[in-house]
């Protein structure tokens, strides 16, 4: 038997994210990495950014600079760069937060859950036993135990130590 856990509060995010005139995955990497834009690191073809609406503490995204929604629009060199940043992201989150598991993936298209469907990005979501609870269902509230600023600073410090 399959149980379904409804998360209707996420639909407000999905509805509103595309109402903006600009793509955050195009504008944010034009700036220098900082806690203000949540960009952690930039490489030749892609970058690491914290999710402004995290599912868990340490929720990162890796995105190419190329504005595309099609996986086949990226070159082999771009994909290699993205995978290198994916590996780096997992490593720094493991080092800092010691998660027990990860959800890593692409949501391609609105019906697949993409909040920003016109620009590919990979989600890296650390997971711990018991990290889901009744709060979102009962009170429409997700508990994130750390501020984005603190998360950024911890991950940035670890990133600088290993690069």
Instruction: List, for residues 12-32, the tens digit of each pLDDT value.
Output: 555 655 555 689 999 999 999
Beta bridge partners of 104: 124
- The answer to whether residue 17 is domain-embedded is no
Query: b/e string for 136-154 if b means 16 or more Cβ within 10 A?
Result: beeeeebeeeeebeebbeb
Please tell me the predicted confidence (pLDDT) of residue 7.
59
- The answer to whether residue 11 is domain-embedded is no
Please tell me the predicted confidence (pLDDT) of residue 130.
79
Global pTM value: 0.84
SS3 128: coil
Structural domain boundaries, residue 79: 23-156
Q: Structural domain tally of the chain?
A: 1
Query: b/e string for 97-126 if b means 16 or more Cβ within 10 A?
Result: bebeebeeeebeeeeeebbbbebbbbbbbb
What's the pLDDT band for 141 if we cut at 50, 70, 90? low
Please tell me the predicted confidence (pLDDT) of residue 98.
98
Please tell me the predicted confidence (pLDDT) of residue 11.
61
Calpha distance 96→117 (Å, rounded): 30
Residue 34's closest CA among 144, 161, 117, 155?
155
- The answer to whether residue 128 is domain-embedded is yes
Active site residues: 121
Q: Please state the separation of Cα 85 from the chain's center in Å.
A: 12
- The answer to whether residue 110 is domain-embedded is yes
Domain holding 105: CATH number?
A: 3.30.428.10
- The answer to whether residue 59 is domain-embedded is yes
Encoding tokens for residue 135?
């709060």
What's the pLDDT band for 115 if we cut at 50, 70, 90? confident
Please tell me the predicted confidence (pLDDT) of residue 5.
54
User: Given strand 39-42, what is the order of strands in its sheet?
Assistant: 39-42, 46-50, 60-64, 122-127, 101-106
> For 38-84, how does the pLDDT look when each residue is reduced to its tens digit (9 = 90+)?
999 999 999 999 999 899 999 999 999 999 999 999 999 999 999 99
Higher pLDDT, 156 or 16: 156
Residue 136's closest CA among 5, 3, 15, 4?
5
- The answer to whether residue 132 is domain-embedded is yes
- The answer to whether residue 8 is domain-embedded is no
């Amino acid at each position: 038997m399959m149980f379904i856990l409804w998360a209707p509060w996420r639909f407000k995010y999905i509805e509103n994210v595309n109402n903006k005139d600009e793509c955050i995955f195009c504008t944010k990497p034009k700036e220098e990495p900082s806690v203000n834009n949540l960009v952690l690191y930039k490489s030749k073809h892609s970058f690491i950014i914290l999710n402004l609406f995290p599912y868990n503490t340490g929720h990162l995204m890796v995105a190419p600079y190329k504005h595309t929604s099609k996986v086949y629009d990226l070159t082999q060199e771009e994909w290699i760069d993205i995978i290198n940043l994916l590996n780096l992201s997992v490593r720094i989150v493991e080092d800092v937060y010691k998660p027990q598991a990860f959800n890593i993936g692409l949501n391609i298209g609105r019906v697949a859950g993409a909040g920003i469907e016109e620009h590919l990005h990979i989600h890296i979501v650390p997971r711990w036993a018991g990290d889901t609870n009744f709060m979102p269902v009962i009170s429409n509230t997700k508990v994130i135990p750390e501020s984005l600023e603190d998360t950024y600073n911890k991950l940035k410090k670890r990133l600088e130590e290993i690069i």
